[in-house]
Amino acid sequence: MTDSKYWSRFNRRRLSRRALLAAGGTAALGAAAAAAVGCGSGDDGQKPNGNVPSTTPFAGVEGNPIAGGEVTHGRLLSVLGIDPHVDLTGLDIGQLLYTYLYSWKPSTEEALFNNFATALEQPDEQEFIFTLRKGITIQPQRDNPAAGQELTSADVKASFIRRSTSLTAVDKRFGGAIVGKPHADVASLTAALETPDPYTFRFKTVDAFVPAFREMSQPTWAIIPEKVIDKFGLGLSQKAYGSGPFMLTEFRGYERIRLQKHPNFWLKPRPWLDSLKWIVITDASSLLAAFDSGEHDVNGAVLTRDQGEDRMKKSQFTVKKIPTRFYPVIHFKTHASLPFHDVKVREAIDLGIDRDQIISVIWSGEGQQNGPVQHLMKRYSLSESELRAAMPYDPARALKLLEEAGYPQGFRVKMKLPRVPGAPIIADLASLLKDQLAKIKVDVLLDEVELGTFIANTILPGNFEMAFFPNLPYDEPDRPLAFYHSRGVTGGGNWNNYSNAAVDRLIDAQSREFDDTKRVAIIHDVQRLILTEHGPQITMPSGNLYGARWAYVHQPYQYFLDLGEGSQAEKDPGPPGTDTWTAEGAA
């Protein structure tokens, strides 16, 4: 079989031989064989016995990790659920509880085969044949129907079916591409997904879907054991039975969450930590004060530039400035009964937004313009200069357009936004937008809605005139472009009531184009067309976040960042959470 010309450049990063011996050796060969091949640094002549001394250097981890201990995270947002196929507010925690086929490194667009899949073979761009790791053990909770059993291809198949067909599951377009239908059904997926043996999972998409490879590494594509699915169905929002590096021991999504190390995790001696804990404090100032006083180890507050730079000066903290992958957007309902049905009204709103003021006030002077595809997706996004030319601040022109559209005195509109007490930046930006749009006679009434209700009853059913929401992070352009498709981001319809046949054709074309140069050109073209439409989403600039932790916590990578970026873990990263350790260790 030959490599796919398109995917071969992404399908290349695997665990090194050293890491494979250390990780896979224990699981596949048993303790005696692991003692023979070595579980420690591998090249230092030692003969470890399977239990690595806590201060022994280990491939792929920054510094000399110490086994044991607990790390506590502060958290601003309550966790509404941890079912990775259904819930969005607990995806960072779900990644620690379940196994995935592989991970993804956004900056280089490559797969990291550091999890269940050890290799991917592709006779052509639409066929996927995964070789799966042997010896991955399901967590041993007493009420886990699959406790202690081995994870197999049957579990992958059951998870793909559940993820693709549940009414409450997010974006179902990939499942539809597998079976060649707008929406996948259980019978079609059961026939299409093949498990010729416990360690091989294969399928061929009926419809070409270029984002497929990136899609399968998303946090929502967790592998849940088949027996767990059979027993609990969709009842996993507050319980978890997986095979990831940590097990759930307590879930109180509005107060605290506790995880304990999976004692039989395949990547021994990782994970280094014995346990992880989250404490939820939804007042940002109280959460930051608790962090500064040492009540938790990893800060969850949104730090301003001044707050971040102040803590950079203190040796007890490790502070990193990172570009936020969240980007704010205004949603329009483009129904004929509303003003936003008229492109002149949407353009007037766009012209009435002073993006430079947003960068100055909200992002402390550090920000980047965003088009339909966020600026961090550098190859696919439009340039800053082109975006500035397409989205100028011109309130005089906005007033003229509103008059031409029949609104010389402007109009009043309700804008719904999620109530997130721990993230005041959302309400602050909404208030700034209200003030800016008042200058073009658009009277915006802000209507804050509890976050879970906002997702379930506002955004997903399209129950709004205008809505304001920070879009989730994306590192593949197909997902943000799908907001502008008539089928929408879920594949079930556009909740903005927006439809443009030319936009649909270009979005469909980029999802099927395996020539990378041509695909990038199509993605640029469709963004330029969307910008002339001024909706159904208008994007705002995004800026930087400042993440802080106490210096004794060693955390090589964080959620939605490159795995191992800037550390030795970049060479051989384990799944999320496995490489974190604390210098306090078991003490």
DSSP 20-88: HHHHHHHHHHHHHHHHHH-SSSSSSS----SS--TTS--TTSSS------EEEEEESS------TTT-S
| Closest by Cα among 115, 59, 9 to 569 | 59
Peptide bond into 245 cis (omega under 30): no
For the chain, the helix, strand and coil percentages under 3-state DSSP, each to the nearest 5: 30, 20, 50
Q: Which band of pLDDT confidence, cut at 50, 70 and 90, is reported for residue 569?
A: low
Quick check: bond before 536 cis, omega within 30?
Answer: yes
Distance linking the first and last C-alpha atoms of the chain: 52
pTM of the model: 0.85
- Give 50's Cβ-side CA count (13 Å radius): 14
Q: Which residues contact 181 (CB under 8 A, 6 or more apart)?
A: 188
| Cα distance between residue 405 and residue 533, in whole Å | 15
Residue 432: pLDDT band (50, 70, 90) is: very high
Strand-pair partners of 215:
none
The yes-or-no verdict on residue 5 having pLDDT over 70 is no
| pLDDT tens track for 126-151 | 999 999 999 999 999 999 999 999 99
Predicted pLDDT at 466: 96
Burial 512-536 (b: 16+ CB within 10 A, else e): ebeeeeebeebbbebbebbbebbbb
- Average confidence score pLDDT of the chain: 85
Question: How does pLDDT run across 212-251, given as a tens digit for each residue?
Answer: 999 999 899 999 999 999 999 999 999 999 999 999 999 9
Other Cβ atoms within 10 Å of 364 Cβ, number: 17
| Domains contained in the chain, CATH given | 246-323+544-582 (3.40.190.10), 327-542 (3.10.105.10)
CA dist 22 to 41, 46, 220, 268, 273, Å?
9, 13, 28, 7, 18
Taking alpha carbons only, the member of 382, 366, 312 closest to residue 527 is 382
DSSP string covering 530-555, please?
Answer: HHHHT-SEEE--EEEEEEEEETTEE-
What share of the chain in percent tops pLDDT 90? 65
